[in-house]
Amino acid sequence: MSCAIRIRHFPTSLIAVIPFVFCLGGTDAHAQEISDIPAAFVEIGIGARPMGMAGAVTARSMGAESIFWNPAGLSGVGTSRQLAVTYGDQMGLIPYSALSGAVRLGDDYTLGVGLIHSGDEALTETTVLVGISRAIVTTPWLPSARVVAGASARTRWASFGNNDSTEGQVSGSAFGASFDVGFLVPLIESVTAAVRARDLAGSLTWNSSVRGSYEENVPPALTFGLMVDPRKTVSLELDLDKSLRQDNPDRLMIGAEVRILEIASLRGGYLRALPPGELEEYTVGAGTDIPVGSATFSVDFAYVFGHLENTMRFSLRVAPGQS
């Protein structure tokens, strides 16, 4: 694959790794198929807590950060509202920032929003999500629990080639939209199943100074998750990310979390492509909850041992007290 953007005054180390990052992919390797412009909306995994478990969080209620993983998990906001901020620097060269928020609307509904921004003038990408979750029905086999459904709309913007460069610079922009839907289904008291359909009816329209305007589909995928939380202090999850395109690999994710004295957590995870290929990652993470007045601040970090470059992520979540 050749890079369509001619770059000057840009880190030479980034130029060297671009073909590998965008041909081998990151946590969401199939995003490379979206566009002829390398790196189009490669989602590296947002949130230090989810990434500490290798992204095996489809069956968990993650609060505000669930807008990025499974909109049904927005139901896990324990207070009236929650705010989360994440920062990561992929390979020490590509900054990713994410902001998410959630607000409870009565007993059954939770509204969530999310924002992801990455890149610089050479390639800038912004994704905005708006979603809602609702407890829809009580399970007949477990009267104390309810099935939760969620849905979100995702819009993507991109701008490329705006940096100073030589004559013949390729520049342009992109816009697209897609939808996610998800469910959390309690099976027994300590076991929850989940499914999420990602990027349904998704497309991107590109406007390039070389190719003009053209449209491409965004590859959809299904993720199935099963979480076991027998003691409320130790939980395990197994997720299968099933690609709906033959040229994209499936992915298996395994994650674990151990909670210590209700104020701290240790995490670990493993991700690999199916069938086994070049995509394989190990993750570790930790977090702590800090009460400040009526609010709770949660600080999390994760470290991903990847096939290209090790990466650290930091997240801060704030849950204000009830007003």
Output the DSSP codes for 169-201: ---EEEEEEEEEEEEEEEEETTEEEEEEEEEEE
Give the chain's mean pLDDT: 81
12-319 under CATH 3.30.420.130, yes or no? no
Q: What residue ranges do the domains of the chain occupy? A: 12-319
> pLDDT band at residue 21, thresholds of 50, 70 and 90?
very low
pLDDT tens for each residue of 60-86:
988 899 999 999 999 888 767 899 998
Q: Which residue has the higher pLDDT, 36 or 318?
A: 318
pLDDT of residue 7: 29
> pLDDT band at residue 166, thresholds of 50, 70 and 90?
low
On the question of pLDDT at 3 being above 50, the answer is: no
pLDDT of residue 70: 96
Q: How many CB atoms lie within 10 A of CB 307?
A: 16
Q: Are 156 and 180 in contact (CB under 8 A)?
A: no
Task: Give the β-pairing of 234-243 and 280-292.
Answer: unpaired
**pLDDT > 90 fraction of the chain, expressed in percent and rounded:** 41
pTM of the model: 0.81
pLDDT of residue 10: 32
Look at residues 38, 35, 25, 33 and name the one whose alpha carbon lies nearest to residue 90.
Answer: 25
Q: Tell me the helices (H) and strands (E) count for the chain, helix number first.
A: 2, 15
pLDDT of residue 184: 96
pLDDT tens for each residue of 193-242:
999 999 998 888 988 877 788 888 888 889 999 999 987 789 999 999 99
Look at residues 18, 206, 212, 30 and name the one whose alpha carbon lies nearest to residue 119.
Answer: 18
On the question of pLDDT at 258 being above 80, the answer is: yes
pLDDT of residue 6: 28
> pLDDT band at residue 32, thresholds of 50, 70 and 90?
very low
On the question of pLDDT at 158 being above 90, the answer is: no
pLDDT of residue 235: 94
At 228, phi and psi to the nearest 5?
-115, 125
